[in-house]
A and B are shown apart, each in its own frame.
Chain A
């Protein structure tokens, strides 16, 4: 059972970035999936969730309208489209599986928003 994030990097304020999370070892299409982030020196912050079939999506207030969570169950991949990035979006972004909580986590991918 594994989650592997990718797509992080350094990006200028106002630009966009797409993160991916490749799942393996379990039936991806059966689980709700999340993005959670941790800014340097800060605690964990929930970003967004998507249901197992993409039927519902919810976002933290500070990401609403800027971030879009999506998934491709045929490719066992979770995505996070991040637009209008701000310095305060600088963080390690994790994807996590939901089984009555966040039971499986990836290692994370670092996003740095800086000019």
Chain B
């Protein structure tokens, strides 16, 4: 089962903007919406944006999600030290009837 494609790592300076990408196909990202999760090791993952690109209550406006074709993006503005974490995208695949995850992007804030 092929998953979604994310760059393994991204590094950005404090207070800068990071854009993380997630590429799938028309059966998942392109038509089913993409969720984004933040994962600090030792803690459970946290949902940042749901399949409709909406932030759950309590999630900072610095996190915003969008989709163009088969690629989803998560933009994080005003990077803070606590944003350093692993970020995962996930989508329902309507052809395979499974949820798929990306391999995760490790964000380093310099």
- Contacts from A to B (Cβ < 8 Å): 34, 36, 43-46, 49, 58-62, 94, 96, 99-103, 105-108
Contact = CB atoms under 8 A, between A and B. Distances in A.
B37 A102 contact: yes
Q: Identify the 6 closest CB pairs spanning chains A and B, nearest first.
A: A101-B35, A105-B44, A100-B50, A43-B104, A101-B50, A46-B99
Contacts of A101: 35, 47, 49-51, 90
Contacts of B49: 101
Contacts of B33: 100
Residue among A44, A49, A103 having the largest count of chain B Cβ atoms under 10 Å:
A44
Given A43-B86, A100-B54, A103-B50, A108 B44 contact: yes
Given A60-B1, A100-B50, A101-B90, A44 B44 contact: no
A46 to B, nearest CB: 4
Interface of B: 1, 33, 35, 37, 39, 44-47, 49-52, 54, 56, 86, 88, 90, 97-104
A100 B51 contact: yes
Residue among B1, B97, B99, B104 having the largest count of chain A Cβ atoms under 10 Å:
B99
A43 B104 CA distance: 6
B100 A102 contact: no
A104 B73 CA distance: 22
Contacts of B50: 99-101, 103
Residue among B52, B101, B102, B104 having the largest count of chain A Cβ atoms under 10 Å:
B101
Given A101-B35, A101-B49, A102-B35, 16 more contacts: A34-B99, A43-B102, A43-B104, A44-B37, A44-B39, A44-B45, A44-B88, A49-B99, A60-B1, A60-B98, A62-B1, A101-B50, A102-B90, A105-B44, A105-B46, A108-B44
